[in-house]
Amino acid sequence: MDSVQAEIAATAARMVVEEGLEYGPAKRRAVRQLRLPPRAALPDNDTLDEAVREYIAVFCADTQPQELAALRRHALTWMERLAEFRPHLAGAVWNGTATRLSDIYLQLFCDDPKSAELALIDHDVNYEARTVTGFQGEPVEALSLSSLCPGLGETVGVHLLIHDLDDLRGALRPDGRGRVARGDATALRALLEME
């Protein structure tokens, strides 16, 4: 990796941690902030992930572990509420880089894509529906809501990404480094016990 990509990664990592930006927007904003050409070669997500972990270790080591645990406990609460939809936690809360500014991303694997939405309606949960890119690159419905996280004492975003039940088979394969991009409630409980 060249020094320009390293500088983009370091700048983007600060934005991810301090502002709660997602990786893509943080990298693009870092390019603008550093006054680089718009087509500058961006660091890959693994490089940015390492930079985020380094930033947390240096600047947030005293607060981030408690914030992460609070977000994971809150995610588990939502996973238990939505158990019939086979929820899997993904994103920063799953991979351990979340701070109080991070949102919770739950991937639901449903027999009927509308069933999760109907469950929210039945429980009078206010949400916003939109379409986002799923983990396989296809468009999926996302139900976004705000929820009070007791461990943080503030509201956090919870995003429910609706996938077809058949997508679950390929969702649990580890990447080239042996990491799994998502975990179910049992896996999340194991992480919480280790903390």
* CATH number assigned to the domain comprising residue 110: 3.30.460
* pLDDT computed for residue 179 by the predictor: 80
Model-level pTM? 0.91
Residues 162 and 137 in one domain: yes
pLDDT higher than 80, residue 50: yes
Residues 43 and 75 in one domain: no
Show which of 41, 59, 77 is a domain's final residue: 59
Residues 51 and 125 in one domain: no
Per the structure, the count of domains in the chain is 2
- Model confidence over 126-171: pLDDT tens digits? 999 999 988 888 899 999 999 999 999 999 999 999 998 888 877 7
pLDDT higher than 80, residue 176: no
* pLDDT computed for residue 157 by the predictor: 97
* pLDDT computed for residue 177 by the predictor: 76
Residues 166 and 92 in one domain: yes
Residues 44 and 80 in one domain: no
- Model confidence over 63-102: pLDDT tens digits? 999 999 999 999 999 999 999 999 999 999 999 999 999 9
* pLDDT computed for residue 170 by the predictor: 72
- Model confidence over 3-22: pLDDT tens digits? 899 999 999 999 999 999 99
Task: Transcribe the chain into DSSP letters.
Answer: --HHHHHHHHHHHHHHHHH---HHHHHHHHHHHTT--TTPPPPPHHHHHHHHHHHHHHHSTTTHHHHHHHHHHHHHHHHHHTGGG--EEEHHHHHT---TTPPEEEEEEESSHHHHHHHHHHTT---EEEEEE-TTSSEEEEEEEEEEETTTTEEEEEEEEEEEGGGHHHHT---TTS--SEE-HHHHHHHHHH-
pLDDT higher than 70, residue 1: no
Residues 73 and 36 in one domain: no
Residues 111 and 170 in one domain: yes
Residues 166 and 71 in one domain: yes
Residues 41 and 115 in one domain: no
Residues 53 and 72 in one domain: no
> To the nearest whole number, what is the mean pLDDT of the chain?
93
Residues 31 and 71 in one domain: no
- Model confidence over 52-73: pLDDT tens digits? 999 999 999 999 999 999 999 9
Residues 53 and 70 in one domain: no
Domain span including residue 55: 3-59
